[in-house]
Amino acid sequence: MPLETLATPLAFFFSGIVAICAMILPGISGSFILVLLGRYSQVLHAVSDRDILTLVYVAPGALVGLSIFSRLLKYLLISVL
């Protein structure tokens, strides 16, 4: 069941962070995570309607999530080996 949260810029930012983390891991769908967060249809409509303002909130979240999570995975893989 998807979460019901307000469509605030901060919510889109954190949704971008969580979705990109899921996209890095094999077997986990970033789209499914967005569905669970209740943001998939909003982000999809923003892409199809070229709603730049919404995408401006999601994209930096994705970049921040990508940089943080990739470093975390690198650290975990190096510490295991």
pLDDT score at 67:
96
Domain ranges within the chain, ordered by starting residue: 24-80
pLDDT score at 53:
95
**Secondary structure string (H, E, C) spanning 8-46:** CHHHHHHHHHHHHHHHHCCCCCHHHHHHHHCCHHHHHHH
Q: How far is 64 from 43, CA to CA, in rounded Å?
A: 18
pLDDT score at 2:
60
8-state DSSP, 5: -
pLDDT score at 25:
87
Which residue, 60, 56, 73, is CA-closest to 21? 73
The tens-digit pLDDT sequence of the chain (81 residues) is 666 678 899 999 999 999 999 988 888 899 999 999 889 999 999 999 999 999 999 999 999 999 999 999 999 999 877
Backbone angles phi, psi at 42, to 5 degrees: -65, -45
